[in-house]
Every structure is written in C-alpha cells, then in structure tokens.
Chain A
Amino acid sequence: MKLFPIRGGIHPDYRKELTSDKAIAALPMPATLYIPLQQHIGAPAEVLVKEGDMVKKGQMIARNQGTVSASQHAPTSGRIRAVAEVTAPHPSGLPQSTIILESDGKDEWAELPEPITDPFAADAHTINERVSQSGIVGMGGAAFPSAIKLNLGEQKKLDILLLNGAECEPYLTCDDRVMREYPDAIVDGARIMAHALGTPRVIIAIEQNKPQAIEIMTKAASAFPGVEVIGVPVQYPMGSERHLVQAITGRETPARKLTADLGVVVHNVSTARAVHDAVRFGRPLVARVVTVSGGAIREPKNVLTPIGASITDLVGFCGGFAVRPESVVNGGPMMGQPLPGLDAPVVKGTSGILALTAGEINDNPTSACIRCGSCITVCPCGLSPVDMSAFIRKDKLEVAAKLGVMDCFSCGSCSYVCPSHIPLVHYFNYAKGVLNDLERERQKNERIKTLAEVRTIRIEKATEAKRAALAARKPAADSAAPGNAGEPKATTEEKANA
C-alpha cells in the first residue's frame, strides 16, 4: 500500500531494546490500590461506594457522570478504606478524589455482565453500551473515553478504523508486547469496533521498527479480508492521530475538525484488546500493560499492572532504581508528564513509567536562540516554534496564539532538536494554560456582566411594580403618608434582625 509523507518529525534514540524482547510480567497484587475518580478527559466519575464497603474485582465503584466521562471498577476484591484526596499522577502534584481499596488477597471476580456471544450480530448501541460500562478509555495516553469515539458512526459516514500501533515514543514497548502476545484479541477487538462504527476497513498501522509485531499481526489478520496491517515509516510523531491518518490516507485533517470528518476513526491497539475483553468476557478495564524502563531502572520490563497500583510498587517490582533518576516520567519521554513523586497511582492512560538519568535526558542550560530554524523544519504541525516562543517569552501571548500555539500538540520535536536547549514545549504549555485561563475568565466575565444586568432589570421591575401598586392604592387611601410608603420592606426586616 502506498503511504504518504508527513511533515517534519525527528528520529530520536528509541532505546526500545531495553524492554521489547521481554514477555509481559504481571505485578503481584499490591495491598493497597488508589483509584482516582478521574483518569480520563472529561468529568470525574461519581462514587458509588463508601468507606468500609466490600467490593469484588470488576465491580463498578464509580459511575460516569455526564457525556464525556468514564466509570471506574475495582481492580481486585477487597475493602474500601476511604474516598480521599490523593496526589494525582500529574506534574502539578495536586491531589484529587481517589478511592482507596485494600486488597483482600482473594482477587475474586464480581458477577460480570453477560458476554456478547455474537457481537457481529449485535447492534452498535449494545456494543457501545458495553464499552461505556466497562470504563474503557484510549490507552495510548490521551485517555479519551472510547465509547464516545465509537458513537461517531451514528453522526458521520466512516470508512476506516485505524488501529494505532505506531508507538513512536522512545522506550515504550507496551503496545509492541501486547501486539506480539495478544494478536488475536486485538484483531477481534478491532473487528468489533469496526462493526460498531460501521467502517468496512480496518487498518492496523505499526512502525517498521517492530518487525515481529508486524509479522504476528499480519498473520492474525490474514483470516479477515477487511483487516490490513501496514508498516509505517519510523518517524516521530507518527503515532499522532492526525499524522497517522495523513500517512495512511494522504488526507489532512482540517484544524478544529476531527479525523472522523475524513471518515477515519483512530483507536489504540491496547484499546482494541480492552474492547475484546469487555465484549467477549464482560470484563471491565481493571489492568493495563505498563512499560517500566529508563536508564535508572534496574530491570526494565513490561508489567501487567492493576489500575491504581502505586508507582513505588511498580518500580520496586522492576528491581528499584539502579541510580538516582534525574526525572521520573509518566508516559513516553517526548510527551509524558514528569511525576512529582512516586506515590501517585498508575491510571488507565499510563503507558509507561520511565526513570531517566541525566545522560538520557541530555538537558543543558538554555542559551540564546540562534534562529537556526531546526524547530520549524521538524515541526509536524507546520508551526514556527522559534517565533511563538519568542513572543511568549515577551508575554505577547495573543501573537503566539495568532501564530498557532493552540494548534501545537506538544509533541516535543522542536525542544528535542533545539541546539540552544530552549524549553519550547514548556513555553507552549504555559501559553496554552494562560490562554485557556483567559478564555475561562472571559466566559466568566461575560456571565457576570449579564448577571448584573439581569439583576438591575429585576430590581427596576420590582420598583416599578411597587410604584404601580402604590399608585393604585393611593386613590383608595389618599390620607396615607406619601414619603414613607415606598420604603422597601427589607429595611424593617433588617431592623428586626439587628
């Protein structure tokens, strides 16, 4: 199949060999699990349990709330210790509402929903409902509730389900391992999703630096005519949804539109496997494969981890730190988030935990920009990081916005190549945050202005009504004292209070 070139991109040092050839190992069930109510984009889930409740594995303990949300399930059986504020796996180090579950060691399954025996006979709604019930979110890192994406078939005419197995981030091999070890589950999950979406074609895109995965997946897909496996060039960030779609179809997703508008829906390979589990066995998403790697980890490997296991447990399982890490990263080195500490739990979107040494990060002091233009060359979004960061530095965020800082998806290519080691992505994240703040503030101000006006009108009306009432009363009782009659009643009340 003919592929299309994508703009820019880089070829970082991948270092996938640290973990790619080791089979997935399961983490022994930790004694305590921390399940945040929000592990996804959207509204946090609503707690269904309270302190002291006994739950079984797979039991729903928090329900999705609102349209964009996902439910949470107990990763093992045990007792709810508390619903409390616990540090989130987030660079801010801020706490969030988390269900704390103490394992009883039995790992007993709850009564699960009935498997859908023939999903291809079931209607889309049934499948979506099941996916939604199972708390499945995008497992590539963005953690967008998958059921919503599976609903797109209702609104748009779709052609292709694109399964993203590019895994372009260095170090990460969890998708690679899942593809190698569970190819049939992935293909089946993909076919179920394609059925729900109504797409005739399924394309599984895998970067060419994973030849075994390509081979195994091709074999697994060979039985199904609608399913193709395509090796895509090794080029970071090939795994970005829009770029992968461009590479496969040659079509560029317009800004502020979705790939679905081009007829393509993209899901992660691990998500497909989770869908398979949910549909065929009724199992909700309670565990995921996490790559634990980096130069500071003694025994890097891929670990099947229950959601909510603390990162300390995970690192301990991998032999602990060989050297003091410079940074511990949640996700890949390019787009991952630094962790403020190791207390935070693994969540559904955690694809990797990397403990990186200073040498691996290769962070040097920032020097002045020499306008070499490398950042422009590598930017897959066609932006001008050099100019945007200069404007942000001088607090001219509106100009940076004009230049497209909101179109940046923080892939990190520009920061990676910058010879002056300017924290370009950091600038953009800052700008995006402030611009969002401003947007929020603007919305709030508009609201407040309206509120004030509404109130003024209301009070005017009330005064008017009172005056009218008074005028009506006046002829009747024309001996009433004219001055005091209009005084608001509230004053007397107040006096009573005082």
Chain B
Amino acid sequence: MKVGIAYALPQRQAWYDVEVPDGATVKDAIERSGILAQFPEIDLVQQKVGIYGKVSKLDAVLNGGDRVEIYRTITCDPKTVPRKAKAGEAASEAEG
C-alpha cells in the first residue's frame, strides 16, 4: 500500500510517497522513506509524529493513503502571542 511521508521546514519541505507492506507502522514508513538522511536533524525521540494532523505513536499501524507527518514544536508562547482583532475573530469563528 502507498502512504505519504512529510517533513517541513519553512524553506524546504519534503513529501514523498512510499510503498509499504500492509500492517506497516509509522516508524517503518519513516525509515523506508529515507527522509532521515535528507534531514539529519530529525530526532524521532524528541519530535512527535502523526497522521493527517493527529498525533500518533511511532508504532501505530498505517492505512493506505495516510500521510505520516513529522512535527516540530512551536517556538512561541501561545499565551503571549497577540490575537487578531475581535471582529476578525468573530468572523472566523462563524466560518469555522
């Protein structure tokens, strides 16, 4: 089955398709993709991984078509970040 592997830096992103056997785990897919060689800085112990925006474990079993994502942590403190003006917020709230 085919799954996607993605890692992204602001200036450079990688999103590969890899063929993995049924029942493969997130870790299997990451290793098979060779993405670690491209981005030596990836540290799977520290960095969280997930599938389509949902954090998951490294040994989670994959389904066909999944995109395995390797995340980075946020750099700011969410409490101090200035928010959009109220009106904008309301609008986006309504849309969401």
Contact residues of A with B, CB < 8 Å?
A: 454, 458, 494, 497
Contacts and interface: CB of A to CB of B under 8 A. Distances in A.
A494 B52 CA distance: 16
How would you classify the secondary structure of chain B's contact residues: helix, strand, loop or mixed?
A: loop
Contact of A454 (B65, B78, B96): B65
A458 B96 contact: no
Interface of B: 52, 65, 78, 96
Nearest to B37: A46
Contacts of B96: 494
Nearest to A461: B65
A460 to B, nearest CB: 13
Contacts, number: 5
A97 to B, nearest CB: 12
A497 B78 CA distance: 9
Contacts of A458: 52, 65
A451 B5 CA distance: 15
Contacts of B78: 497
Nearest to B89: A498
Contacts of A494: 96
3 A-B pairs with the lowest CB-CB distances in the bound complex, closest first: A458-B65, A454-B65, A494-B96
A454 B52 CA distance: 12
Nearest to A46: B38
A458 B78 CA distance: 30
A494 B65 CA distance: 26
5 contacts: A454-B65, A458-B52, A458-B65, A494-B96, A497-B78
A458 B67 CA distance: 11
Nearest to B4: A454
B92 to A, nearest CB: 10
B77 to A, nearest CB: 14
A454 B3 CA distance: 13
Nearest to A494: B96
Nearest to A462: B52
A454 B78 CA distance: 32
A12 to B, nearest CB: 45
A494 B92 CA distance: 12
A418 B78 CA distance: 65
Contacts of B52: 458
A494 B89 CA distance: 13
A64 to B, nearest CB: 14
A202 B65 CA distance: 52
A454 B17 CA distance: 14
B12 to A, nearest CB: 12
A494 B78 CA distance: 13
A454 B2 CA distance: 13
